Chains A and B, each alone.
Chain A
Amino acid sequence: MPDANAHAAVPRWPSLADIAAIAAGGAIGGTARVVIGALLSDPGGWPLATLLANLTGSFLLGALIGLWSRTGLRAGRSGAFLATGVLASFTTFSAVAVETMAALSAGRTFVAAAYPTVSVAAGLAVAAVGLGLTSRVGRGAP
């Protein structure tokens, strides 16, 4: 998953404690996404719940990684819990793919074209904003 030290050596297998942290975070993030899906309807056939979860999660993950890069800290087990567990699990790729396919097969071609496009464009934008915000916070102001 995203690694602020992408140039680092090949990752080791997660330890049992890492797995427990990822599993706990995954339960929280995945369930929160499903709860949002149950609460929000899809106006005009737009999968609003998935879009909201993906954009919120991308912003927060960007902010977290920006914070790590500024402080030089890789948050270890709490990083596995928050990043690989909660935030990566709160967002989903398979739902976007299936919702797009469903829109296409139902003849809603505008949604099928616009939904993945908006998801990717806005997802990149909010992740970059999150990354930029926390990368700069606390740096020497003029």
Chain B
Amino acid sequence: MSIGTYLAVAAAASLGAVARAWTDVAVARLLGRPGPAGVLSVNALGAATAGALAAAAATLEFPAWFVPVVAAGFLGTYTTFSSWMLAALQAGRSQVRVGIGVIVAGVATGAVAVWAGWALATVLL
């Protein structure tokens, strides 16, 4: 990748991180309390979009910079693995089953979301 592409990745990653923080706060305010719903929401939304983009990239011709910048830069940063792990551990401290629930919910929503995004883009394109 060129230096220009790396700079574009950095800019997209900035936007992704800020969008994640905003989504997390928006979900917490909507529910009236902080918790793992924010990280589960960003991960499901990001996985669906990334799935659609991956399917689109197999059919359409994007410029060379597009997938690294949008998929790895923005969506890769919008979603987060480490925060999900810590959300599960913290939820599990008080009640183990809640921590397990955070993991199961993340896996289930992520799998359904990426499949749905992928399938939708495949059908439409």
Give the interface of A toward B (CB within 8 A). Answer: 1-4, 6, 8-14, 18-19, 22-31, 33-35, 37-38, 54, 57-58, 60-62, 65, 80, 84-85, 87-98, 100-102, 116, 119-120, 123-124, 127-128, 131
A83 to chain B, nearest CB (A): 8
| Chain B residues closer than 8 Å to A10, beta-carbon distance | 28-29, 32-34
User: What total of chain B residues lie within 8 Å of the partner, measured CB to CB?
Assistant: 62
B51 engages A97 (CB within 8 Å): yes
Query: 8 A-B Cβ contacts within 8 A?
Result: A8-B34, A23-B18, A34-B1, A88-B17, A92-B72, A94-B49, A95-B76, A100-B111
Pair B13/A31 contact, Cβ less than 8 Å = yes
Q: Given the complex of chains A and B, what is the CA–CA distance between A107 and B68 in angstroms?
A: 24
* Docked CA distance A93–B49 (Å): 12
Chain A proximity mask over B85-119: 1 for CB below 8 Å, otherwise 0: 11111110000000000010011001101110010
A24-B14, A31-B6, A93-B46 given. 4 additional CB < 8 A pairs?
A23-B17, A34-B9, A93-B80, A131-B89
